[in-house]
Structure 1
Amino acid sequence: MSLEVDFRHRQGDFALAVAFDAPDGITALFGRSGAGKTSVVNAIAGLLAPDAGRITLGGTALFDRAARCNLPTWRRRLGYVFQDGRLFPHLSVRQNMTYGQRFAPRGATGPTLDSVAELLGIAPLLDRRPGGLSGGEKQRVAIGRALLSRPRMLLMDEPLAALDEARKAEILPYLERLRDETALPILYVSHSVAEVARLASRVVVLENGHVARAGPAEQVLSDPGMVHQIGLREAGAVLPATVARHHADGLTELAVSGGRLFLPLTKGAPGTAVRVRVLAQDVMLARSAPVGLSALNILPGKVVSLRDGDGPGVMVQIACGDDLLLARITRRSAQALGLAPDGPVFAVIKTVAIARSDVSRS
């Protein structure tokens, strides 16, 4: 079931003009604060009526200005998860979750309370009140309530923004399970590159109310042209990989299209598909295969492009097998190496530069 969005809307001096599609899986709507992300989600949910355009889900029009179609929110069958859980404090977790069932169409099929509670790890919390829950637990309850409304799609507007790092780490595995074990398309709004890299199969980048880039996460996040939107320190690439083996010295060996990567011990049996986020600032380059280095990860490749940034830096895009890497180096280093498109190069990545949180289920 694919969501198709194509509309225009003006709010004071701010103009929205967006067109993108969101197929099954998680599509991340990414951008800085003020880019228009929440306005887009509100238009999809029926909380905002655009000036012009069309929004469809699974071929059914939710909004069509030309045809004078604007389905009310309750008829769109969309589950909306906000930044704060917005739970009813006087109801138990069980009652909060079953409240969502009131909005399910008669005869609609979907997961049961028990299956949703198991999926989100909240079965032990069902008889508790929201006031005694952590921020991560509240958000999982809010997601469960949305799922029990039998939605055709989930809209998640920065669901982790109000959580500290510990609570984010707690809830991210459950979002991965939600992505992998349900057939629901999910539009996930975020300004966190780490969340997007870990969860999204597709990314739509918004800038000043317009779509700056849209496509598979691996392509969008490794595009040097997106560094301004993503940020220099967050710029990097996402590599699909497979767990090859675990070594006795505490390292995990991953197979990527360009060779092998050695990382600190990673969860997953051999054969498990994972994705690895590699920051551009953690990649060094060499023109010939280096020797005598402590770094274990050396991937041969070729330069795809070089893009000057602010100050003395250059962002180099490298093709390693079927994957794209980004390396952030100085302009002086690029000139000393004689880097040019199609030129051979070796990407060097320290094993300990990749945190365990940068490796996730694919």
Structure 2
Amino acid sequence: MIEVDVSHRQGGFHLEAAFKGGDGITALFGPSGSGKSTLIALIAGLRRPERGRIVAGDRVLLDTEARVFVRRNRRRIGLVFQDALLFPHLTVRQNLLFGRLFTPRAERRIRLDPVVETLGIGALLDRRPATLSGGERQRVAFGRALLASPRLLLMDEPLAALDQARKAEVLPLIERLRDEFRIPILYVSHAVEEVARLAATVVMLEAGKVTAVGAPADVLRPVRQVDGNRFAVASVLAGTVGAFDTAYGMTPVHHPAGTIWLSGPLGEEGRETRLVVRGTDVALATSLPRNVTIRTALSGTVLRVLRDDGPLASVDVALSGGGVLTAVATRMGLDDLGLDTGDRVWALIKSVAVDERTAARGGMDGEGPRGPRRV
């Protein structure tokens, strides 16, 4: 549990943020320059705000009115940044154990062996950081932060420096840290796939202000500029995992509007999951198509069409059973179909276009099946 209410000015930038985060991962989400990293620095004690109150668990870390300011080395907060910031002259084992030096013996709740096993770094213990890959260095950084037995973990864009293959490797490890060590995590990112997969709560930041707090499927919403970056428009779909089809290697995710088929296994049948669907990967049809390879067809009604003089348009579809899915289409295609507000449509999604590696696996406490919210 973390409670934050701070006000801070830095040059011409003014941060005014208040929110509460529960167990699991709370994500700070927003564009560059929205105040995410500044907020992390205030919580970590790296900066002192003009006004504010910060509480982690049952401990007050900052209360300007009561003149309370716990120094950063006494806050018992673990930090993981984009750069692993490992000590190059120390081995992996020595880097891992470094954080324990500042933790009182009576409070060293987390032991080396479980961390090494969870992160899969047993073979790296005698190596030095220069010989590690980017993903391996981040694993060690996670382990070092954990072994300080922190009350709270702060992760500031921890995957930003990794390529897609390394991100796919590290994401499941963050989930294991969340689920096995039960330490609250505050996670900074502007990548919707990371937030949709990992977070139980999302804090949306824009220009130094908190604009929304809640579950990912409720908070994440679309980028509206259809004449700008069309690939940034996406929807977060929530559904229930069905039985894995061993014959075809496919998994169904059940939503009230229809079944979403994904490549590969998604884990336990019956659990909740979240998926990210790009607007450019959604096609629209006025009738259920036949003789096509697309397996996913979700029923709905056109809620609104946003278009200008450019070649593209954005279409919001209210899905049957609740939720809104955004599609990006050409104006030419929409005019050929004659689509308008209130028309019944089918939203078609190619299974191969949805990255099953970014599907949420656990960490959805308090969320039931629900439709998507646009990103």
TM-score between both structures, scaled by the size of structure 2: 0.86
Q: Using the TM superposition, give the Cα deviation of residue 330 of structure 1 relative to its aligned residue in structure 2, in angstroms.
A: 4.4
Please give the secondary structure, in 2, of the residue aligned with 1:9: strand
The Cα shift of 1:84 comes to 1.0
Moved more, 100-109 or 305-314: 305-314
Per-residue CA deviations over 1:73-113 (Å, capped at 9, x if unaligned) read 12221111111111112221111111111222342252210
Cross-structure match for 2:59? 60
Matched with 1:215 is 214
Partner amino acid for 1:248? Answer: A
Q: Give, in angstroms, the shift of residue 331 of structure 1.
A: 5.5
| 1:159 Cα deviation from its structure 2 partner | 0.9
Aligned to 1:140: 139
8 Å contact kept, 2:241–2:266: no
Instruction: Answer yes or no: is 1:354 the counterpart of 2:354.
Output: yes
Aligned AA (2:150): P
User: Any residues of structure 2 matched to 1:125-274 within 5 Å, and which?
Assistant: 125-221=124-220, 223-224=221-222, 226-227=223-224, 232-240=230-238, 241-271=240-270, 273-274=272-273
Checking the alignment, whether the CA contact within 8 Å between 1:243 and 1:252 is kept in structure 2 is: yes
Q: Secondary structure at the match of 1:107?
A: helix
Q: 1:352 to 1:270 in 2, by over 3 A?
A: same
Instruction: Name the CA distance, whole Å, in 2 between partners of 1:186 and 1:304.
Output: 37
Relative distance call for 1:280 and 1:360 in structure 2 (3 A) is same
Q: Which amino acid aligns with 1:88?
A: F
Please give the alpha-carbon distance, in whole angstroms, between the structure 2 residues aligned to 1:206 and 1:169. 26
Cα distance in structure 1, aligned partners of 2:306 and 2:294: 26
SS of 2:158's equivalent? coil
* Residue in structure 1 matched with residue 283 of structure 2 by the alignment: 284
Between 296-305 and 4-13, report the one with greater CA deviation: 296-305
Q: Quickly say closer, same or farther: Cα 1:109–1:325, change in 2 above 3 A.
A: farther
TM-score of the superposed pair, with normalisation by structure 1 = 0.89
The count of aligned residue pairs is 358
More divergent stretch after superposition (118-127 vs 206-215): 206-215
Q: Deviations over 1:260-299 (max 9, x none)?
A: 2222223425445433221122122334433443321111
Deviation per residue, 1:115-164 (Å, 9 max, x gap): 01111111221122212111111111111111111111100011112222
User: What are the ranges of 5 or more consecutive residues in structure 1 without an aligned counterpart?
Assistant: none
Shift of 1:359: 3.1
Query: Shift in Å at residue 242 of structure 1?
Result: 0.7
For the residues of structure 1 that align with 2:304 and 2:57, how far apart are their CA atoms? Answer: 38
2:294 is matched with 295
Return the letter of the residue paired with 2:234.
G
Task: Please give the alpha-carbon distance, in whole angstroms, between the structure 2 residues aligned to 1:249 and 1:80.
Answer: 43
> Does the residue aligned with 2:232 lie in a helix, a strand or coil?
coil
Q: CA deviation at 1:44?
A: 0.3
Letter in 2 for 1:5: V
Aligned pair in 2 of structure 1 residues 203, 231: CA closer, same or farther (>3 Å)?
farther
Q: 2 CA distance for matches of 1:141 and 1:309?
A: 49
CA distance in 2, matches of 1:309, 1:95: 59
- State the match for 1:10 in structure 2: 9
Aligned residue for 1:184, secondary structure, equals coil
Distance 1:65 1:269 in 2: 47
Alignment-derived partner of residue 368 in structure 2: none
The CA distance in 1 between the partners of 2:257 and 2:179, in whole Å, is 26
- Matched-pair contact (CA < 8 Å) for 2:314–2:326: no
Structure 2 counterpart of 1:297, which letter?
T
**Secondary structure in 2 matching 1:245:** coil
How far apart are the structure 2 equivalents of 1:45 and 1:307?
42
Distance 1:136 1:60, change over 3 A: same
Hey, what's the Cα distance between the residues in 2 that align with 1:74 and 1:308?
A: 53
CA distance in structure 1 between the aligned counterparts of 2:291 and 2:154, rounded to whole angstroms = 50
- Counterparts in 2 of 1:69 and 1:332: CA distance versus 1, 3 Å: farther
Instruction: Verify the 8 A CA contact 1:286 1:337 in the aligned structure 2.
Output: no
Where does residue 91 of structure 1 map in the other structure? 90
Indicate conservation of the 8 Å contact 2:316/2:324, yes or no: no
CA contact (8 A) 1:245 1:254 kept: no
Gaps of 5+ in 2: 363-375
Tell me how far apart the structure 1 counterparts of residues 181 and 319 of structure 2 sit (CA, whole Å). 33
